[in-house]
Structure 1
């Protein structure tokens, strides 16, 4: 596997020199400073690529070109944004970058309710607490008819959370959910978030699939023509939020995406953490099923809590997902297909000096260094076992 590292550009607290010292050879990044829906200047793409090369690394995956909200909700004129997205593929391809990870999550990208959840060893992790999320939806955002989406017990627990919380806790929860986590497409105020959600009307899963299909029908021919591989990222968390349909959460969802358009450019990002939140997602079955469609891998694990809709990020080789088995399956896939799959550690804990210095949520230096070292060690051991036949 190609060891890579997510880097958020020149303002990232973790510089490229640290990435190289961590042992990664590939960089996963994007032009995060470009507004959502705008064209990426080709000279800016070239400068970012050259900056990475000068550090002794390669830009191997784009994560991400944001998919404009008008595309997802089918607003009038959405096609213009799809054609801009396709043009950005052309420009990236001309600069030698041909692996693009993207997502189709409506309104909010990946979502957490806590950024500094204390672990038993003193590390700080990311967490999604379903009750806190419901309390935000019901009593802070006050989304219209939100109560229809919750069972009576959920409503009672959310009301209790809100009643027991103080204004500082409520403000912290609000900032965490709506300000936009690293790599998110947009940030919102409570008013703009309500408006964005309302723009989807009564769209259901079939309607959202139709929106994704229409988008793919425009961009996949360009990707295929330019030799670009598209890798859709699963929903995080992999279930509906704020009454909006999420359609990249299960194997059935991925089956539909590939069946809709069998172009070889139509592929998948295997995010073990996102898919692993759901106990009904069999990760080894997914790897076996999609095989050559897996163009990129995020290797992390989560620990489901007593309410399995709640979870926190665990150490890379712990949690509820067997990353060793996943690495073994990916190595077998590489041998079978004769190619290397870019992978990166994801959502590391804040440990050691991470806690004393500025740290991008989910992307601390030392926590990811630990994760990458564990993944590298597991891969090396598995390769050795396969070589010896034991």
Structure 2
């Protein structure tokens, strides 16, 4: 069957409770992984890259369905680069060397982000749905409560709509301690691959480091970083794919600069090489109703080097939760059909795609999975996406 996407699965390495055999059983053969054990800013050596490749090769010896490392997610950008500190030059040089080493090892697709301090942000990482499964939830009202009454960020109230602050204060006055604990734990949760996580003090210090850095300054710092690394990526035969902000608006006073079409226009106009590309994430971009997802695909198709397909259910006042992959607000049929039509027109090879932020459900409930990255929920998502892709391709090819 003609394929629009190369079916892929995010794997956090040997410590991931989801095993390589599970990825095979899910129907994916592309493995999206990273060297999380290497401190951010250090060089990824050829030796360490080859070690990870060897794990996949050893697994392949036992099975006829071969797995291969097709995307790095992520090669993190050090905070000093984002802040344009004097020592950023060292970290940029290390980044360049990591790109060269990945290219030497045949790993040529790099996903990364430029979000300050925090990656994706949710106020409840186990929000219970009607069917008993749990999903990731973002509720601006709860974020305000965290900001004002738990984090106690100075002058935080000025960053929010007055009516929303009023509602948040009223809700806070009635919240139980258990609810506040869930909110705190969700927002201070470690990122995938990070064993330490945040404390309130660590988060406050991180926010302090960005004082005086506006969105304009952060955008300039991103462009300066890309002007340095993209020529090296091109020499190494590597493409870079920036991941959009999640959620796509400022959080806790931090600027966000990869949130909408105009942000992408700026990034790609300033650094026009095609290896300066995009990870199209339908959930991150789709969290803002202002983003027209099919038009974004059409505008940047030749720069989309990697795809995350998921859907969020948008509700009022910047509240959303992760829906099933074929439900919610994304309009998944139209998105996949748009990719099909552009692929046919451009005669392009399948783009690596992975399902994202699956529900915790069935036998996975109660097990030590990172929220959003359990096995069964993502298996369901991948199965639904593969089925939709199969139906679109077969219907349109046989017209």
Q: Is the 8 A contact 2:248 2:259 kept in 1?
A: yes
Distance in 2, matches of 1:79 and 1:114, equals 37
Q: Is the 8 A contact 1:13 1:360 kept in 2?
A: no
Tell me: CA distance 1:184–1:153, structure 2 relative to 1, closer, same or farther (3 Å).
Answer: farther
- Show the counterpart of 1:9: 13
Residue 331 of structure 1 corresponds to: 340
Q: 1:22 to 1:231 in 2, by over 3 A?
A: same
Who is 1:34 aligned against? 38
Residues 36 and 185 in structure 1, CA contact (< 8 A), matched pair in contact too: no
1:51-200 alignment, distance < 5 Å: 51-55=55-59, 56-182=66-192, 187-200=197-210
Q: Give the root-mean-square deviation of aligned CA atoms.
A: 1.4
SS at match of 1:164: coil
Structure 1 runs of 4+ with >4 Å offset: 183-186
Contact preservation (8 Å) 2:37, 2:193: no
Q: Structure 2 unaligned runs (5+)?
A: 60-65
Residue 386 of structure 1 and its aligned partner are, at CA, apart by 1.3
Give distance in 2, aligned partners of 1:330 and 1:54. 34
Note closer, same or farther for the CA distance 1:83–1:317 as it changes in structure 2 (3 Å cut). Answer: same
Separation of aligned partners in 1, 2:195 and 2:78: 8
Contact 1:108 1:184 in 2 (8 A): no
Structure 1 71/185 Cα, relative in aligned 2: closer, same or farther at 3 Å? farther
The Cα shift of 1:37 comes to 1.1
The alpha carbon displacement at 1:310 in A equals 1.0
Which one of 319, 322, 325 corresponds to residue 328 of structure 2? 319
SS in 1 for 2:69: strand
Deviations 1:130-149 (A, max 9, x none): 11111111111111111110
- Shift of the alpha carbon at 1:185? 10
Residue equivalent to 1:205: 215
The corresponding residue for 1:346 is 356
CA shift at 1:255, angstroms? 0.8
CA apart distance, 1:183: 5.2
1:201-254 Cα distance to aligned partner (Å, 9 max, x none): 222221111010111111111101111000000000000001111000001111
2:271 aligned residue (261, 281, 291): 261
- Alignment deviations for residues 182-212 of structure 1 (CA, whole Å, 9 cap, x no partner): 2579732211211211111222221111010
2:63 alignment counterpart: none
1:222 to 216, 222, 232: 232
Q: Distance in 2 between matches of 1:37 and 1:305?
A: 38
**Partner of 1:110: helix, strand, or coil?**
coil
Q: Structure 1 residues 225-234 or 77-86, which shifts more?
A: 77-86
CA distance in 1, matches of 2:33, 2:343: 23
What is the number of residues matched between the two proteins? 388
Decide whether aligned partners of structure 1 residues 211 and 242 sit closer, same or farther in structure 2, where only a CA change above 3 A counts: same
3-state SS in 2 of match to 1:27: strand
How much does 1:353 deviate? 0.4
Gaps of 5+ in 1: none
- Structure 1 residue 351, shift from structure 2 partner: 1.2
CA distance in 2, matches of 1:192, 1:274: 25
Q: Which of 373, 385, 389 in structure 1 is aligned with 2:383? A: 373
Q: Please give the alpha-carbon distance, in whole angstroms, between the structure 2 residues aligned to 1:123 and 1:209.
A: 39
Q: 8 Å contact 2:358–2:373 — kept in the other structure?
A: yes
TM, length-normalised to structure 1: 0.97
Deviation at 1:343, TM superposition (A): 0.2
> Superposed, which structure 2 residues align to 1:247-326 within 5 Å?
247-307=257-317, 309-326=318-335
